[in-house]
Structure 1
Amino acid sequence: MKKIILINGYRVGNPSLPTGLGYVAQAIENAGFDYDVCDVNLQTHEQIVQIVNDSKAHYVGCGTMSYEVEKNYELLQAIRKSMPNVIIILGGPHAIAAQQEIFQECPVIDMVIQGEGEEAIVQLLNGSPLQSIPGILTKNSQTGRIPYEFLSIDSIAFPKYRKFDLKKYGNTMNIASSRGCVYNCSFCGAPKFLGEKWRAFKLDRLIEEFEYWYGKGYRQFYFSDSLFVLNKKRVIDFCTYIVESNYNDVVFTADGVRADHLTVEILQHMKNANFKSITLGVESVNDNILKFFNKNETFSQIDNAISIADSLGFDISIYLIIGAPEETYDDAIKSIMYPMKYKNISCSIFSKLTPIRGTPYYDYALQHELVSDKSICYPKQEVYGTNERLNDRNAVEEIWSSLLPAIDKMSRFLTMRNQIKKGLVCLGFYNIGVNKLNILTRISLNPFLSVFVNASIRFAKLMGLK
């Protein structure tokens, strides 16, 4: 029986359950083929090479983003050296973006699966002719249309991760309840990588997956969809089911949430169903920058949605992008300072605008000669921090270094504010306003005044004061 080793090459630092690889693994398992799973966040290159070598596998399949892709190339080269005859397959966003150039970047790769891999990998293992398998790209084939429309989403089994070491991925279960993105934000490659058509699993299928993992003991769930709330009725029906079924001990997080999809009604339903956290892409507080990003929503819409979510007590995380053309230092500072407005914004994730292959901004950056070396389009990490390989021809570099102290200061501020808010809740102070909370945070960050504040809080706790 043919065997394949699947490698999660998404280098995210802290291990995060690779949902996409899980779907591919489940398709292989349901088709009756043998496989094993490796993860670059859990194992060294040497350990992975040894696993592949010991398994005598026929195939190795690796998924990769563009960031740190060269490290995955090094791993695949080591595998080829150890097993000269193994067939190496690459998938994931970078494989879609680079297309035929992938074989020049890493000659040890034998083929690429573009788009969704569940059916393609099974057909490959079944021995189907390569030219008959949608999405297969080889060194001698021509790049074709990525075959998202060939895969019926209702036929896909959700992943059960039987060969994944789940205890190493924490106590939160990731659920991807939909695929694709109908928007075309300039900094994002989701439509190219996931498909331009939004396709969602039906409510019954979503409930089945949730209840399966609930039965396995999971109580924290993370929805990783790009557009979780696009179909409001589906979300409301799911939330209603959770409430009416008395799943009172669960906690949900929704990551892919657009502000213009959120209303008081839908946020209230989500709150009732124990959605505690949401993550929104704010990107900028400047409407001109939002237009450049092609967000198709205004800052007023974004701010209104966050205001509603804040008033309902959601824990809110936001994404901000620094470095749009013509963005000034003052523009960026206004975006950096935005979390000061709402007490329940607990985290700001800052990203430097980077020309990642497969995004509209990549084409813009090349057209406007913002980059001269394509290798800089592989950022070292997807979000957070800096990409030092960007050169000084990119306008973002003119302000990024000067903004780092403000970004660091805001990160420390939010960390302290979160701690103070939790402490006040323990003391029974539930409704403190954002202005007072910000003042307490500033005081606590002052080493001289914080001694007095901490003593006062301890005294209030001892006396049972509220």
Structure 2
Amino acid sequence: MKVLLTAINSKYIHTGLGLRYVGEYAKSKGHSVKLLEETINTPILAVLEKIMQGEAQVYGFSVHIWNKLFVFRLIKMLRKLRPEAVIVIGGPEVAFDAERIFKELPAADYIVQGEGETIFSGLLHSLELGGSVPRHIAYVKNGKVELNGGTVVLTDLAELPFPYPDLPEVLAEHKIVYYECTRGCPFHCAYCLSGISRSVRRRPLGMVLRDLDKFIAAGAPLVKFVDRTYNLDEEYFLPIMRHLAVADTKATFHFEIKADILSEKVLDFLATVPKGRFQLEIGIQSTHQPTLKAINRQDNWVKLSANVRRLLSFKNIHIHVDLIAGLPYEDLPTFAKSFNDVYSLQADMLQLGFLKVLPGTQLCRETQKYGLAYMDEPPYEILATKYIPYGDMQLLKRVENILDQTGNSGAFPHILAALIERSGAETFAFYQQLTDWWVQKGYYPQTHNTKGTAQILQQYIIEHFTDEQAAALQEILRYDVFMAVPGWRPEWLDWQSEAIFNIVSDFWRNEALVQQYIPGYRFSSWRQIHKNYPIELFKTHWQTGEAGEYYVMLDNSGEEKRAVLLPLGV
């Protein structure tokens, strides 16, 4: 019996980890399984054509929040073309409410309820031998949905094979490698499905290390762990991190963690890891205590904020923090406070997300209690609550857009800090002012690159400050542009390259002085110097705001840019 599994990913660079595990496990049990990976951006008829190229008897699909509508349309067409085929669906969008899903998609024959590696393989075995439907596979019999045992989890992750037999091809296509060493979550966040089982299971440590060594040997540039809370068990996760920290690799490993449970031992270790080896994503969601209580989170903000600041002080780990808009008991002023609290941490990225009211979650059952108005179809995104009306929610959507192009771009740290300080407002109030102006000028909802955003910020400065204030702020903006986009010299910023030509030339002729700032420096060519070591004069200090003459060399010769303050022009 031939089986085709189809994973519809949200982007080309993604990989379908769930169906990879399902397919590799089934193959390990002797079944003939092929995997097709496509994206929701591929024309649906093109995907259908690829599916129809083979003569499979069983077609399996994983259904997620991002692909449900696409997959359901695909299955309806497939059913018309292959009426005799067996169609099986699974995944978080269908596993927890089989009765509703069969009404929406009668073209499906079976629904895998829960983690599907062993039960899908069991279904294939039953179909081949003509046996009864295995437990935890829902189906329709005589017009009635048979739940057949409900949802299930895989208890022994040692049963899972390595999910990337095609790893060289995956990396050649520049796709992200996803991996999990644990499943489940001990917490029960009201908006999430991961904690429903409350069962956390761990893949044996030796197997995890061998799997990770395969990624390292193959040269994977990025491995993203999908564990819901990676750092639950220090005796388990710390040896993995230590192994990765000393590995001979340039790879980056991404983890989702709970920051307030980091111990001193772990923090001391994280201070020592090579720069860029780890990325940490920290879900904060809110700092409003009634909100946290309503969604079943028990974060210690004092400990969390102290730990995040300490992690950032190491300057070796990219830190990404999350907020969710639309949670219970959080109105616009309350959300603004959460935003201010989290922004003050100065993490590398603050992701502003919006509540998704997922079917099967506690918040879905409490829709009326909190007045949740949300999309009926995926992604089930919140539109309004009894605390935040639609107009305020749309404001937050616009703020998200502008935040991503400014603060989250990483290109404008100094000018944003200066603008917030000089605005005299709290951080969220500043972003609201900037957003209102941005929209009024017609720059929203377009996405602007770094150069375009820089020019927008320059216009904002001119329109909101006196000539003297604007001159100083534009110097700070110019510094950020100098660092973020080497070699770009827009005319609307007052570049000093010609004015300081003689001073800069004298510097490069003094090789002993140059070597103090560039150890091992040897002259190659003026072209190479201008490319790798541009020097510029700034008349306002980008951090203190003090007027003066500051000669800055951008050392762009290595893997990471660095600014060097030079004692020139004195």
Kept in 2: contact 1:62–1:91 (CA 8 A) = yes
Alpha-carbon shift at residue 165 of structure 1 (Å): 5.2
Alpha-carbon shift at residue 168 of structure 1 (Å): 7.2
CA distance, structure 1, for counterparts of residue 325 and residue 398 of structure 2: 14
CA offsets 1:336-366 (integer angstroms, 9 cap, x no match): 33453233x1222222223210211000115
CA distance, structure 2, for counterparts of residue 146 and residue 61 of structure 1: 19
Alpha-carbon shift at residue 100 of structure 1 (Å): 1.7
Matched residue, 1:425: none
Structure 2 residue 174 is matched with structure 1 residue 170? yes
CA offsets 1:178-201 (integer angstroms, 9 cap, x no match): 101111001111123xx3210111
Matched residue, 1:182: 186
Kept in 2: contact 1:290–1:298 (CA 8 A) = no
Which residue of 321, 324, 328 maps to 2:324? 321
Return the index of the structure with the highest Cα Rg: 2
Kept in 1: contact 2:280–2:320 (CA 8 A) = yes
Structure 2 residue 475 is matched with structure 1 residue 452? yes
Kept in 2: contact 1:180–1:198 (CA 8 A) = yes
Alpha-carbon shift at residue 216 of structure 1 (Å): 1.6
Structure 2 residue 271 is matched with structure 1 residue 267? no
Alpha-carbon shift at residue 164 of structure 1 (Å): 9.6
Q: Mind listing any 5+ residue stretches in structure 2 that lack a counterpart?
A: 423-453, 463-470, 479-494, 497-534, 538-550, 555-563
CA distance, structure 1, for counterparts of residue 397 and residue 164 of structure 2: 42
CA pair 436-101 structure 1, distance change in 2 beyond 3 A: closer
CA offsets 1:82-128 (integer angstroms, 9 cap, x no match): 21111111100011222221110111011101111111222222236
Matched residue, 1:342: 345
CA pair 149-211 structure 1, distance change in 2 beyond 3 A: same
In the alignment of these two chains, the number of paired residues is 436
CA pair 127-142 structure 1, distance change in 2 beyond 3 A: closer
Matched residue, 1:465: 565
SS at match of 1:327: coil
- Within 5 Å, give how 1:10-409 maps onto structure 2: 10=9, 12-13=10-11, 15-41=13-39, 43-67=42-66, 69-127=68-126, 131=132, 133-140=134-141, 141-146=145-150, 148-149=152-153, 151-162=155-166, 166-167=170-171, 170=174, 172-192=176-196, 195-243=197-245, 246-247=247-248, 249-254=250-255, 256-274=256-274, 275-313=277-315, 314-343=317-346, 345-366=347-368, 370-371=372-373, 376-380=375-379, 387=381, 390=383, 395=388, 397=390, 399-409=392-402
Alpha-carbon shift at residue 145 of structure 1 (Å): 4.5
SS at match of 1:253: strand
CA distance, structure 2, for counterparts of residue 82 and residue 57 of structure 1: 12
Moved more, 144-153 or 328-337: 144-153
Alpha-carbon shift at residue 73 of structure 1 (Å): 1.0
Kept in 2: contact 1:239–1:269 (CA 8 A) = no
CA offsets 1:389-421 (integer angstroms, 9 cap, x no match): x477785535312333433333233135x2256
CA distance, structure 1, for counterparts of residue 113 and residue 85 of structure 2: 20
CA distance, structure 2, for counterparts of residue 54 and residue 164 of structure 1: 25
CA distance, structure 2, for counterparts of residue 348 and residue 327 of structure 1: 18
Matched residue, 2:431: none
Give the AA of the match of 2:4: I
CA distance, structure 1, for counterparts of residue 133 and residue 188 of structure 2: 31
Alpha-carbon shift at residue 142 of structure 1 (Å): 2.7
Kept in 2: contact 1:289–1:327 (CA 8 A) = yes
CA offsets 1:266-322 (integer angstroms, 9 cap, x no match): 133245344431001110121221111111223323323312222222211122111
Kept in 2: contact 1:336–1:410 (CA 8 A) = no
CA pair 44-409 structure 1, distance change in 2 beyond 3 A: closer
**C-alpha RMSD over aligned residues:** 3.0
Higher RCO structure (Cα 8 Å, ≥6 apart): 1
Identity %: 17
CA pair 406-249 structure 1, distance change in 2 beyond 3 A: closer
Give the AA of the match of 2:285: E
TM-score by length of 1: 0.83
Matched residue, 1:438: 417
CA distance, structure 2, for counterparts of residue 68 and residue 227 of structure 1: 24
Matched residue, 1:424: none
CA distance, structure 2, for counterparts of residue 362 and residue 316 of structure 1: 31
Moved more, 441-450 or 219-228: 441-450
CA pair 36-115 structure 1, distance change in 2 beyond 3 A: same
CA pair 318-462 structure 1, distance change in 2 beyond 3 A: closer
CA pair 7-441 structure 1, distance change in 2 beyond 3 A: farther
Q: Mind listing any 5+ residue stretches in structure 1 that lack a counterpart?
A: 382-386, 422-434
Alpha-carbon shift at residue 171 of structure 1 (Å): 5.3
Alpha-carbon shift at residue 440 of structure 1 (Å): 7.7
Give the AA of the match of 2:336: I
Alpha-carbon shift at residue 144 of structure 1 (Å): 4.8
CA distance, structure 2, for counterparts of residue 306 and residue 95 of structure 1: 36
CA pair 198-269 structure 1, distance change in 2 beyond 3 A: same
CA distance, structure 2, for counterparts of residue 65 and residue 155 of structure 1: 24
SS at match of 1:356: coil
